[in-house]
Amino acid sequence: MSAQNSELAAALQWQRNDRAQEATNEAGAWGKGAAARDSYLDFLSALEWSVNQAGQFEPGQKPLGDARVDWLDGLIGRLQMVGFAGVVQIDTHVGEFCQVADGLGGFRLAPDELALLDCDRLGLDTQEALRLSSGQSVRFANYVAALQNNPGNLISVRLNPLGISDPGAAYPPGLAGVTAGEWNRIARKNNRVQVALLPD
């Protein structure tokens, strides 16, 4: 990754130098600039894919908790190394879990062997799902605020809570014959944070 960053930083500098020569050598500069741009976008696509492999979070945790600060800081650092300017959009999603009453007025994940039809609670209403997908720790909120308030920073962060509206994995179409364990394995996949890199 470090070698890729160095190569892309050099490519971006080359692209900037080409722009200065466009008035006298427009055709040649366009070809080199297009190649550098393609290399840059390929890197962003690979980086986006890489960070999204660590997007899942455990049921009951905030999607943007303390652990996400280091995750986001690492991403911002790589982007700054290659001169990225634009938006880091963070989409947050929550899964619809099969739960049973915990005897204390709340709910916990159902045992894997429980039939799905015997869940005390299955899924979330839209408003609660949006509330849960908006969850962030104080540390995470402070990190994003400091980043946004830095006048020299070229990267902005956009938080986009989506609740249950866009599951990444499909739930079984029917409930009969499905266990809580089978259902909740899919719900865990949908309990995720997903990044989109949007260059200016």
CA–CA dist 197, 200 (Å, integer): 10
Angle at 192 between CA 139 and CA 115, to 5 degrees: 125
Q: Quick one: 143 and 189 in the same domain?
A: yes
Band of pLDDT at residue 1, cut at 50, 70 and 90: very low
Q: Quick one: 90 and 11 in the same domain?
A: no
Lowest mean pLDDT among 9-23, 137-151, 168-182: 9-23
Q: Quick one: 95 and 160 in the same domain?
A: yes
| Domain end point (choices 22, 38, 53) | 53
CA–CA dist 76, 156 (Å, integer): 10
User: Mean pLDDT, to the nearest integer, of 147-171?
Assistant: 94
Amino acid symbol at 52: N
Q: Quick one: 88 and 163 in the same domain?
A: yes
For residue 1, the enclosing domain spans: 1-53
CATH number for position 169: 3.30.1330
CA–CA dist 99, 86 (Å, integer): 40
pLDDT tens, position by position, 139-152:
999 999 999 999 88
| Domain end point (choices 15, 30, 53) | 53
Q: Quick one: 153 and 112 in the same domain?
A: yes
Please tell me the total count of domains within the chain: 2
Model confidence pTM above 0.75: yes
User: Mean pLDDT, to the nearest integer, of 93-103?
Assistant: 95
Q: Quick one: 31 and 118 in the same domain?
A: no
pLDDT tens, position by position, 190-199:
999 999 999 9
| Domain end point (choices 13, 29, 53) | 53
Q: Quick one: 166 and 115 in the same domain?
A: yes
Q: What distance separates the 2 farthest-apart alpha carbons in the chain?
A: 77
The overall average pLDDT reported for the chain is 86
- Please count the CA atoms within 13 angstroms of the CA of 78 that sit on its side-chain side: 21
Q: Quick one: 108 and 15 in the same domain?
A: no
Q: Quick one: 97 and 195 in the same domain?
A: yes
Q: Is the pLDDT of residue 80 over 50?
A: yes
Q: Quick one: 38 and 106 in the same domain?
A: no
State the DSSP code for 136.
B
Q: Quick one: 23 and 110 in the same domain?
A: no
Q: Quick one: 92 and 138 in the same domain?
A: yes
